[in-house]
Amino acid sequence: MADNKLFSEFAPQSTQEWIDKITKDLKGADFDRKLVWRTNEGFNVQPFYRLENMEDKMYMNTYPGDFPYVRGNKKDNNDWFIRQDIIVEDVKAANAKALDVLNKGIDSLGFVLNWKDLSKDELATLLEGVYMDCVEVNFEKSHGSVELIKNLQAIATEKGIALDKVQGGVAIDLLGGYSTCGKFCTSEESSYKYMKEALEAAKELPNFKVVAVGGRLFNNSGSSIVEELGFSLAAGAEYISKLMEAGMSIEEIAPKIRFNFATSSKYFMEIAKLRAARMLWAYILKEFGASEEMCKMNIHAETSDWNKTVYDPYVNMLRTQTEAMSSVLGGLDSYTVKPFNSVYEDTTEFSERIARNQQLLLKEESHFGKIADPAAGSYYIESLTESINEEAWKLFLEVQEKGGYLAAFKAGFVQETIKATAQKRDMAVATRKENFLGTNQFPNFGEVAETEFDAALFEAEDKSDANAECETLKPYRGAQAFETMRYKTDVYARENGRPKVMMFPIGNLNMRKARGQFACNFFACAGFDVEDHNGFTSVEEGVKFVTEKNAKIVVVCSSDDEYATIVPEVYEALKGKATVVVAGAPACAEELKAKGIENFINVKSNVLETLKAYQADLGIK
């Protein structure tokens, strides 16, 4: 009875009634401009979704484990392998580390091999004490994969391990290699011949993956989620086409493919990405003649490098935690959390421990692996899934019309598409529309880079071959431009001292405080020595104070109304001693400019370019 009374008192409201109410509260502001978000993925996101938004979604009546697998490959759980990568320089040392991390909760090993060939004895040493029927074993190497697969199978047989229990894979990604180098190692024909040999070598290992689709390359090159997914699907489809042309069946190929994605900070988008990926891949495989049971996408993912930072690096832990959460909720087969310091130095025992425990917390304490498709039914996520699905499919078809992935890449379509998105994102970072906490927003004022960083740390990764046939993809980090700028200040300060930027708060209390905080945050992004003040009672007092402090830049912080009289006084008093900057975009800006005051900072400023200009004025190169 209580429930009936509740529902009678709060009658259902239509979508239009909600929009009318919101429009009224906006007081004349345009609903679409104010509240509808246009994404880099090419579609709009509404401020709210309702049950009616679910009515036309064809997959809503499917269950987890059912085709087209948008709700996951498993019927009764959401379990996944927790992987840790180990760089192999010495097989005995790598084996010891593998056994150690397995005892700390890892159940998937990723061996990164730094040489081409690994003998059977070396492989046996590497895997000594590793129960391959209980944990995944994965290998990242550029050559020698066929021999490795044969040796792995022989070792498993000698240990009495059932071959269908061996899980993991090698990462043969021909198109990913071409996309970074600009050419095949030998020729396209011989490369696919080699891939076919690897598939045949792994025939008796039904759960061992061979073909890798490297979506992470697109992600770390600055792509949108739709581009990462669309180009990955195109590459996967091309692998199938080429291998079928070589005489292999879809039943031999499909179970051997693994998609390797990277996860960004777009929490809900990343959940939807994986759900959409499974659905699209299922339909693609079905078109190739695969049975519905064989249409499941195998997904490994890892935390993205694109959004990781050198400055305030502990923030990377927050990024990797949300990235792990979104990927797990979206559903995958295995995941790697990269240690927070992996982008700028060798990882440590501490950073690796934190990375492991971030996943263990989700699995063992939060029980994320217990519920199949935990995101199901969310109007927002279901709508995002559909939108990403539609846009990624459009891009996939566009690539097919150009002759497939390789043809599109040789024509420059893939690079140009990703580069255009990356440039938009770079501009968003420069203007703080896309935030990097601790780098372009709320930096740690006292942080100083004490060690020497290699210049390559602040540059895009270029693996182009000297004889590259076309432009290549070059992974980079979105924070690199800001980090380059700040590092120049750190280097300069070692011999010349850190340039002083003083706030000049005066007048209206609320406005001077707000603008002082904004300006401090603004200039600290360049690594300047920033200092605020409680407020001056007169221009004379303020000028005396900042002069004694030897401030190189002085930021006047007050209200728009007061700027017309205060700023010219400050400017005249400090002319030739310091650069005077106005915090805000006052209506009197043109009047001030006529008096020689040219420096203004506000929320619409290009923070990066503005700070670089101040660096140049200060002689920081």
* Backbone angles phi and psi of 336, in degrees to 5: -120, 120
Q: Which two tokens stand for residue 534?
A: 């409680």
The alpha carbon dihedral of 294, 254, 145, 178 has a sign of negative
What pLDDT score does 3 carry?
57
Evaluate whether 532 touches 583 at the Cβ level (below 8 Å). no
What pLDDT score does 115 carry?
65
Beta-sheet pairing, 81-88 with 334-336:
parallel
Q: Which two tokens stand for residue 192?
A: 């696919």
- For every residue of 478-527, DSSP letters joined together read TTHHHHHHHHHHHHHHHHH-PPEEEEEEBS-HHHHHHHHHHHHHHHHTTT
The alpha carbon dihedral of 226, 231, 236, 238 has a sign of positive
Determine the Cα–Cα distance for residues 474 and 178; give it in Å rounded to an integer. 12
Report helix, strand or coil for 348: coil
Determine the Cα–Cα distance for residues 173 and 403; give it in Å rounded to an integer. 19
Task: Tell me the pLDDT tens digit for each residue of 18-30.
Answer: 999 999 999 989 9
Task: Tell me the pLDDT tens digit for each residue of 322-345.
Answer: 999 999 999 999 999 999 999 999
Judge whether residue 461 has pLDDT over 80.
yes
Nearest-10 Cα torsion for 249, 252, 254, 260? -130
The residue-averaged pLDDT of 266-288 equals: 97
Q: Round the average pLDDT of the chain to a whole number and report it.
A: 95
Judge whether residue 88 has pLDDT over 60.
yes
* Backbone angles phi and psi of 103, in degrees to 5: -75, -10
The residue-averaged pLDDT of 233-259 equals: 98
Determine the Cα–Cα distance for residues 69 and 63; give it in Å rounded to an integer. 8
Determine the Cα–Cα distance for residues 290 and 255; give it in Å rounded to an integer. 10
- For every residue of 258-323, DSSP letters joined together read EEEEEE-S-HHHHHHHHHHHHHHHHHHHHHTT--GGGGPPEEEEEE-STT--SSSTTHHHHHHHHH
Q: Residue 613 is which amino acid?
A: A
What pLDDT score does 60 carry?
86
Cα dist. 557→549, 554, 589 in Å? 17, 10, 14
The DSSP bridge partners found for residue 111 are 86, 139
Q: Which two tokens stand for residue 17?
A: 């009634």
> What's the half-sphere exposure (Cβ side, CA atoms, 13 Å) at 59?
24
The residue-averaged pLDDT of 459-467 equals: 95
Report helix, strand or coil for 112: strand
Determine the Cα–Cα distance for residues 549 and 497; give it in Å rounded to an integer. 13
Evaluate whether 345 touches 316 at the Cβ level (below 8 Å). no
> What's the half-sphere exposure (Cβ side, CA atoms, 13 Å) at 414?
36
Helix, strand counts (H, E) of the chain: 23, 15
Among all chains, which residue has been given the structure tokens 């990403």? 388
How much of the chain, in percent, has pLDDT values that exceed 90?
A: 91
Q: Residue 160 is which amino acid?
A: G
Confidence class of residue 499 from pLDDT cuts 50, 70 and 90? very high
What pLDDT score does 1 carry?
44
Query: Which residues lie closer than 8 Å to 366 by C-beta, 6 or more apart?
Result: none
Judge whether residue 65 has pLDDT over 50.
yes
Determine the Cα–Cα distance for residues 302 and 77; give it in Å rounded to an integer. 21
The DSSP bridge partners found for residue 504 are 556
Q: Which two tokens stand for residue 57?
A: 């979604």
Confidence class of residue 4 from pLDDT cuts 50, 70 and 90? low
Judge whether residue 83 has pLDDT over 80.
yes
> Which H or E run contains 396?
helix 379-401
Task: Tell me the pLDDT tens digit for each residue of 571-592.
Answer: 999 999 999 999 999 999 999 9
3-state DSSP helix/strand/coil % of the chain, to nearest 5: 50, 10, 40
Q: How many residues does the chain have?
A: 621
Query: Which residues lie closer than 8 Å to 343 by C-beta, 6 or more apart?
Result: 305, 308, 309, 310, 316, 457, 477
Determine the Cα–Cα distance for residues 528 and 548; give it in Å rounded to an integer. 17
What pLDDT score does 5 carry?
66
Beta-sheet pairing, 81-88 with 168-172:
unpaired
Determine the Cα–Cα distance for residues 356 and 339; give it in Å rounded to an integer. 8
What pLDDT score does 11 carry?
78
What pLDDT score does 541 carry?
97
The DSSP bridge partners found for residue 581 are 555, 599
Determine the Cα–Cα distance for residues 535 and 260; give it in Å rounded to an integer. 54
What pLDDT score does 128 carry?
97
Evaluate whether 375 touches 275 at the Cβ level (below 8 Å). yes
Question: Which candidate, 323, 305, 346, places its Cα nearest to that of 460?
Answer: 305
Determine the Cα–Cα distance for residues 179 and 173; give it in Å rounded to an integer. 10
Determine the Cα–Cα distance for residues 150 and 204; give it in Å rounded to an integer. 10
Evaluate whether 238 touches 175 at the Cβ level (below 8 Å). yes
